[in-house]
């Protein structure tokens, strides 16, 4: 093996790794002009009143000045990390104090079972039980497509939620009532350039001045953006 060939391969590998690292964070996350144009074009889509009208699950006050929109998947491990470590801090600091409304938008693309999980969760929202179901699924999260959110298991999870009308839920779930909504959610996520979950938009309640946050980031990252949006 020629020495120069070896050195060349080594340099190529190192260069690729450096470019990929920079690329992920500069091209993927901060491709600001393109993303900003997409966000401006869809400002009305992320207005809190519109999201609630469409049937997106939310927590907090309808009159919150700022919305935090989470694009999540029930099979996504990093979403689980966000729900367990960061969401409680956001809840106590901003949601319960009426400053921020937390809205959930589905991006069911981690595996084959992500789709039925999203549809089932949306059906529980009909009866005001989305956040309980959401917590239950994340607390029981298993490996991707291992069957933990298979259709029978989703029904079993729903059965565990006290006060949920199972007949209503089953009818909604079996008829894929929210298939169109889930498709709309996925299209919305893609319109913002999100392909991975969890991803977030922090915006004023009318959908203006949207700011992107990608990944299960620590509370301080959310605090920085939310405080700026609140004008604090």
Partner 1 sequence: MTNVASNVIKEKLVNLKTTIPIAFKILFSNSFYIAMVGVVSTIFWIFFNSFDQLLFFSPIISFYLPDDAIPGFILTNITSILMGILVAMNVHVIRNSKIKLDKSLLSGSILGIASSACASCSSLGFLVISIFGRFGTIATDLLTNYQIPLRIISICILLWALYSVQNRITKRCILDDVFVNRQRENSHHHPQ
Binding footprint of partner 1 on the chain (CB under 8 A): 1-3, 6-7, 9-10, 13-14, 17-18, 20-21, 24-26, 29-30, 77-78, 81, 84-85, 109-112, 143-146, 195-196, 211, 213-218, 220-221, 224-225
DSSP class of residue 43? G
Comparing CB distances to partner 1, the nearer of 90 and 164 is 90
CA distances from 140 to 119, 151, 157, 201 (A): 17, 15, 9, 26
Cα radius of gyration (the chain): 20
Smallest distance, partner 1 to C-beta of residue 58, A = 23
Smallest distance, partner 1 to C-beta of residue 70, A = 15
For residue 188, give the nearest of 97, 78, 81, 71 by alpha carbon: 71
Comparing CB distances to partner 1, the nearer of 195 and 209 is 195
Smallest distance, partner 1 to C-beta of residue 77, A = 7
Residue-level length of the chain: 232
Smallest distance, partner 1 to C-beta of residue 144, A = 5
Comparing CB distances to partner 1, the nearer of 165 and 195 is 195
Comparing CB distances to partner 1, the nearer of 6 and 36 is 6
φ/ψ of 143, rounded to 5, equals -60, 150
Comparing CB distances to partner 1, the nearer of 145 and 206 is 145
- Kind plus residue range of the DSSP H or E element containing 118: helix 114-126
Q: Is the peptide bond before 198 cis (omega within 30 degrees of 0)?
A: yes
Comparing CB distances to partner 1, the nearer of 5 and 180 is 5
Smallest distance, partner 1 to C-beta of residue 1, A = 5
Smallest distance, partner 1 to C-beta of residue 118, A = 15
DSSP string, 44-100: GGG-HHHHHHHT--EES-TT-SEEEEEEE-TT-HHHHHIIIIIHHHHIIIIITTTSE
φ/ψ of 39, rounded to 5, equals -65, -45
């Amino acid at each position: 093996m020629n020495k120069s060939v070896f050195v060349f391969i080594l340099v190529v590998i190192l260069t690729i790794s450096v470019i990929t690292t920079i690329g992920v964070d500069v091209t993927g996350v901060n491709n600001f002009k393109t993303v900003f144009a997409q966000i401006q074009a869809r400002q009305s889509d992320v207005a809190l009143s519109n999201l609630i009208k469409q049937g997106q699950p939310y927590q907090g006050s309808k009159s919150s000045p700022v919305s935090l929109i989470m694009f999540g998947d029930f099979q996504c491990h990093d979403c689980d990390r966000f729900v367990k470590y960061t969401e409680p801090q956001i809840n106590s600091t901003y949601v319960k104090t009426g400053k921020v409304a937390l809205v959930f938008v589905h991006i069911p693309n981690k595996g084959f079972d992500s789709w039925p999980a999203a549809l089932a969760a949306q059906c529980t929202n009909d009866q005001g039980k989305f956040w309980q179901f959401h917590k239950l699924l994340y607390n029981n999260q298993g490996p991707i497509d291992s069957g933990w959110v298979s259709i029978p298991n989703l029904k079993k999870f729903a059965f565990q939620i006290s006060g949920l009308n199972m007949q209503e839920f089953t009818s909604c779930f079996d008829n894929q009532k929210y298939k169109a909504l889930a498709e709309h959610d996925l299209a919305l996520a893609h319109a913002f350039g999100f392909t991975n979950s969890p991803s977030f938009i922090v915006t004023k309640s009318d959908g203006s001045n949207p700011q992107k946050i990608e990944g299960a980031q620590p509370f301080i990252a959310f605090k920085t953006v939310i405080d700026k949006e609140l004008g604090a």
